Every structure is written in C-alpha cells, then in structure tokens.
Structure 1
C-alpha cells in the first residue's frame, strides 16, 4: 500500500527537469514530508493542447487531489463531490476491470513523483509490547521516484457548462518484491523512464505488461530505514520525519 509519502520538489523545478509545461499555479507546494490522502499533489501527464489538438502531445505538470473521484460521483453541494472513502490506491491487476478506475486505465494515466513512501511494521519493543514502527523507502542515491498513477476529471453535472473541473488521482499498487516484502506485501508500482512514453500516451492504451508486477530488479536501488514515530500524525511535517532511528539508543539522527 501507499498511504503516506514525501516529496520535496516544486512544479517549476519538476517542469524544467522533465522539459514539461507547468500547469499549476505554483501555490501550496512547499516540501511536504507527510503527504496524506486528499492533499493536493503534483502529477505528470501527457496531453494534447486543447486549442491545437493536432499538435503532438506534451508532458504537463498538474496539481491534483490525491484520492481519485470517479466522474459519476454525485455532488453533495454545488461544486463539491459527495465524500466517500478516498481512492488513493488502486490495484494494478484489477484497475482495468474496476468501475472506479477502468476508464482512467484506458486514457488517463499519470506519474506521481515522490522522494519516497512510508509503511508501518508491527514489531516487539524491549518490554515485549507490540508497536507499529514506521519505515521510509527511498532510492539509495536520493533520486526521485515516479510511480504509476491514474487520474480523473470530475464536474458537477448540475452546474452544466459552468462547472469547474476537479482533477484527482490515485497511485497504482502491486505485489511487493525484493527487500520491500519485509515491510508490506504491497508496494506502489514504479514506472521506469524507458516506459514513460507508452504509459503516458494519451492516444493509445498502455501495454498490459506495464500493469504487471515487476521483477525485483525494479526496486533494487530502493533502501528502507526506520524513521521517527512523528510521521504517525499528519499534523507533523518537516525533514525530521526522515531522520534515521539508531537501533542502539532509539535516538534519531538526520541523514
């Protein structure tokens, strides 16, 4: 699963790195060390220009709500969708046949950039008590990860042509592989750069193999470490959440 992650990039930096068009307002995107469902997050899509659809599709950085809202969701009040269980994850092996995601699998796929993600493992402390310890998974070289995602555009149908679009996304998950099986049986689905063109292509469905569980080599550069329990609360947010917990003293050190 992936229900919490960290990202320290901003739209402008991401757009320059990817040679993409920044379509965000660049507001509210300070480093976020405790991204949670319903937060506004950055995504990467490939789309044609609305005014010039004949032009080649281009990479675009967009802001979306984390927690996909299906297009058929009813409005609770004008312009506000009915609240439901946040669809922040979607099983890669079932998304194509699940009502909430199947349309997005066909034509609205995205990348979700992150520095790494958190998982909790139940362990026994020195007193024999079961406690949940948070771990952070990230690339050993500190590089950015890009996870496969799906996105949707929701509009209040009652408002007709005046309805403002609400963009939302979900992160695809798959069976954990390699050392990641030590912390959870699921993991976000990584999308290596060589598959971006096929995954993001707005004019063709993605090859089915891109939704399959990758081999252990896909996560061979990802390391995991125990981090402070501060991350347990979404109210906490700062670089100290990524500190390393020393096994001997239980103290934390920034790395």
Structure 2
C-alpha cells in the first residue's frame, strides 16, 4: 500500500509556499522532481518544531529530509551504522498507529506532512496471462492525484534513530506515511490510501506540544478525496530505476497481456 509516489516539490518551493525554514542542509535547493519515489529514499517532509533547546518560543514550520521507512528510536543496530534490515516501515495504519509500538510515540509528538503530487497503486488481475497453469498475474499500475494537479500533503509520522554503539555518529531521521480506508471511486483500485491532511488541520496535526486530535486519524474528508482521480499508467513505473514525467502519462485501459507486452 502506497509504496511509490511522485513529487515535484523541492526545498526552495516548499519554503516559499509554506513560509517554512529550510533544514535540508543541501547546497542545491532546486533538486529535480522524482516521479518514482520508493521506500528507503530520502524524501522531503514538513514538521513544526521549536528552536533547538527551547520550548518557550513559537514553533515554526521546517522542511526536513528524511528516510522513507520509519525506524523507531529504540531499534538496535543490525550492524554498526546500519539500523535495520528487511522491509522498511513505510506505511502506518491510522487505526493502529496510537497503539502500535513502532508508531505510538511518534503519534504523540512527531507528526509530519509528506508532500506528493500523487501516488501509485497496482491492480492485480486474478487470471494468469500466460495460460491456466504456470502463468503469472498481471499487475496494472494506476496513478492517483488531484484532478487540478495541485499538491497533496499526506499525514506522516517521523522518528530519530541513533546507533548506540557509535555515540558520535549522526542521528538518522525517518518517516512513514499514514494510511486509511479508501473512499469512493478509489476503492476500485485499492482498499487503502494515504491519509490526506487538509490545510485547515495542519496546525493541529503538526503541533509538537500536544498529541494528535483523535478525529484527524479518523476517516478522510470525503470532499478532499472526491478531488482525487485515478488513471492507468505504464508498467515502466514497476521498475524503480525508471524515472521521468512519462510515468504519469495516461495509457489506454489495457488488457493484462498488453500491459506485460505479451500481445
């Protein structure tokens, strides 16, 4: 669920749009778009934090770069400097985040926004395309985005991890995208979707001093979801090495064989 997305956001653009502070520590704020973002990639996030060492000032929006795939702070290093091996925690279910050990601390005080232009999901065809026996099922990709092309801001959680065996090492910030039940027309693509966070809820969601209001982890705003449309796209997106705006282009609703290049 939500294991790939596309974003044209860069730090300088987000700083201007959100009146935020750039903390990405990059020499090139005009980083190129990424049309095939995959877990473990460094991604842009929006947080609200106090100045370092202070709690009496007004928290400010900050743009930070994080690893997509949350690493709980209590995680032991798999080996020196390597936090985890295996499948990254790139999604967190909204209905379980407050109780799941990996996410419950982040829900209290480390919530973020993950800007994206849209995300991909795959519809798995139930029938083989290579014959009744020994065949493989077709995975047909779809791209979900706002109909008007405007940027989406998805609810996210984040964490800070340090290798306790290397106290002098740099901390690693990581994040996950919160997911919820899909609504409306999107249910024909997948039963889950990222949780969109409308601008009117940003202040409460990002507030570092208070837990998230329970209703923000509830079902998404139906009006917001109604603006999101799905379109079939090329199977080029299936390979993370493919990257470019052509991945977003609508293709004709194909048969499984056409998608796999077999017809």
Q: Same fold (TM over 0.5)?
A: yes
**1:155 has 2:162 as partner:** yes
Q: 1:163-195, CA deviations, whole angstroms, 9 ceiling, x for partnerless residues?
A: 311000000001100111010000000100000
Farther off after superposition, 115-124 or 21-30: 21-30
Give the CA deviation at 1:76.
Answer: 2.8
CA distance in 1, matches of 2:223, 2:130: 36
Farther off after superposition, 47-56 or 5-14: 47-56
TM-score, length basis structure 1: 0.92
**1:175 has 2:176 as partner:** no
Change (3 A) 1:158 1:240: same
**1:196 has 2:202 as partner:** yes
Give the CA deviation at 1:34.
Answer: 0.3
Residue among 72, 86, 89 paired with 1:87: 89
CA distance in 2, matches of 1:215, 1:246: 30
CA distance in 2, matches of 1:229, 1:79: 35
CA distance in 1, matches of 2:205, 2:254: 44
Q: 1:72-98, CA deviations, whole angstroms, 9 ceiling, x for partnerless residues?
A: 111133332131320000100001100
Report if the CA contact (8 A) 1:79-1:164 is conserved: no
Give the CA deviation at 1:158.
Answer: 2.0
Report if the CA contact (8 A) 2:232-2:253 is conserved: no
Q: Identify the residue that residue 6 of structure 1 maps to in structure 2.
A: 6
Change (3 A) 1:222 1:128: farther
CA distance in 1, matches of 2:76, 2:249: 42
Change (3 A) 1:247 1:77: closer
Residue among 65, 73, 81 paired with 1:71: 73
5+ residue gaps, structure 2: 132-136
CA distance in 2, matches of 1:51, 1:248: 56
Residue among 44, 47, 63 paired with 2:46: 44
5+ residue gaps, structure 1: none
Q: 1:197-223, CA deviations, whole angstroms, 9 ceiling, x for partnerless residues?
A: 000000011100100112432201111
Structural RMSD (CA)? 2.1
Q: Identify the residue that residue 114 of structure 1 maps to in structure 2.
A: 116
Q: Identify the residue that residue 34 of structure 2 maps to in structure 1.
A: 32
| Structure-to-structure mapping, 1:91-240, within 5 angstroms | 91-123=93-125, 130-160=137-167, 162-240=168-246
- SS in structure 1 at match of 2:57: coil
Change (3 A) 1:38 1:228: same
Give the aligned length: 250
CA distance in 2, matches of 1:159, 1:132: 43
CA distance in 1, matches of 2:99, 2:254: 48
CA distance in 2, matches of 1:42, 1:78: 26
